[in-house]
Amino acid sequence: MQYIKNYLFILGLLTIINSCAQISKRDNTMNYNKLTKEEEQVIIYKGTERPFTGKYYNHYEKGIYLCKRCGSALYNSSDKFESECGWPSFDDEIDGAVKRIPDTDGRRIEIVCNNCGAHLGHVFEGEHFTSKNTRHCVNSISLEFISAGSEVEVKTDTAIFAGGCFWGVEYFFQKETGVLSTEVGYIGGKTLNPTYKEVCNHNSGHAEAMKVIFDKGKTNYEKLAKLFFEIHDPTQINRQGPDIGDQYRSEIFYVNKEQKEITEKLINTLKNKGFNVVTKITKATTFWKAEDYHQQYYEHKGSKPYCHAYTKRF
């Protein structure tokens, strides 16, 4: 009898584990398009379609090329060119849409969708096909195309936020739906191409900031600005938690009039709620990318921010 009980217990446990695994699998892909086995072989398992066979190899209609897996905008047709390599070639990508990583072969640089990690192909430089001297060699099967005359329109936009240590700000925005890419850096100072040391020594006047590229079809500036005000304390002057200094100031660098107006509206809303907001609103100037070891810091470290946390304010 005890043997039967143990057997039933183990059987039930395995059923639960299997169910959890299936749920987890669905959660990880529920926002992605369903792929065929051929598409999975390339997009998920990093295969390569045969040269000169892809439907977009000799395709030059005006429009935008999207990720087949998640639908994020990747390439403009104006950046497509003929390289006679057998696969679609582009000499540029939509800002923040494509991520470069070392290939497992130790020689090439793989390119993947920055939003979902779908394998696209490889990028090569120094071939002198175009003035940009870059070739994104992409599998057609990894792409979907929307013509310029289509009712579906995909647009990206940029926002720049400074709210304390840029590691923590980036941590939260990386997880937000619609965000295509994040990059930390320096803005708002007087020194050209400042270093982290110069910023920390208060010699440049820059703020630690984060630039985010987002898909306007999946999110909007107001939603991202609200997130900004809810992951840091906008009532602190030149500090955030234990970090003290003018580089840790709360400041939004707007890139257009609409962003300025939305920011002013949100600050007034917070003030009416009783928050003594000190966040500055400044027209964006040159954004200087920070050193590589600062990029996606917490993702690489495998830990969480020490001076940023989410607090609902809206």
pLDDT tens for 37-69 read: 999 999 999 999 999 999 999 999 988 899 999
Question: What's the pLDDT score for residue 153?
Answer: 55
pLDDT category, 31, cuts 50, 70, 90? low
Domain closes at, from 101, 129, 147: 147
Query: Are 127 and 178 in the same domain?
Result: no
Give the pLDDT mean for 256-273. 97
pLDDT at position 25 over 60: no
- State yes or no: is 165 an active-site residue: yes
**What range does the domain containing 140 cover?**
37-147
Domain closes at, from 147, 176, 198: 147
Query: Are 176 and 296 in the same domain?
Result: yes
Query: Are 180 and 138 in the same domain?
Result: no
- State yes or no: is 200 an active-site residue: no
Query: Does residue 240 contact residue 248 with C-beta atoms inside 8 Å?
Result: yes
Query: Are 288 and 176 in the same domain?
Result: yes
What one-character DSSP code corresponds to residue 216? T
How many structural domains is the chain composed of? 2
CATH number of the domain enclosing 258: 3.30.1060.10
Query: Are 285 and 161 in the same domain?
Result: yes
Query: Does residue 163 contact residue 222 with C-beta atoms inside 8 Å?
Result: no
Q: pTM of this prediction?
A: 0.62
For the purposes of burial, counting CB atoms within 10 Å of the CB of 278, is it exposed (0-12), middle (13-18) or buried (19 or more)? Answer: middle
Note the residue count of the chain: 314
In sequence order, what are the beta bridge partners of 64? Answer: 76, 146
Pull the structure tokens for residue 9. 């217990």
pLDDT category, 154, cuts 50, 70, 90? low
- Domain presence at residue 164: yes
Query: Are 143 and 176 in the same domain?
Result: no
Query: Does residue 114 contact residue 180 with C-beta atoms inside 8 Å?
Result: yes
Query: Are 142 and 215 in the same domain?
Result: no
Query: Are 108 and 215 in the same domain?
Result: no
Strands 143-147 and 63-67, by their bridges, are antiparallel
Question: Of 85, 137, 200, 307, which is the active-site residue?
Answer: 137
- Domain presence at residue 313: no
Question: What's the pLDDT score for residue 27?
Answer: 36
Q: Which residue has the tokens 């300025």?
A: 260
- Which residues lie closer than 8 Å to 49 by C-beta, 6 or more apart? 42, 87, 139, 140, 141
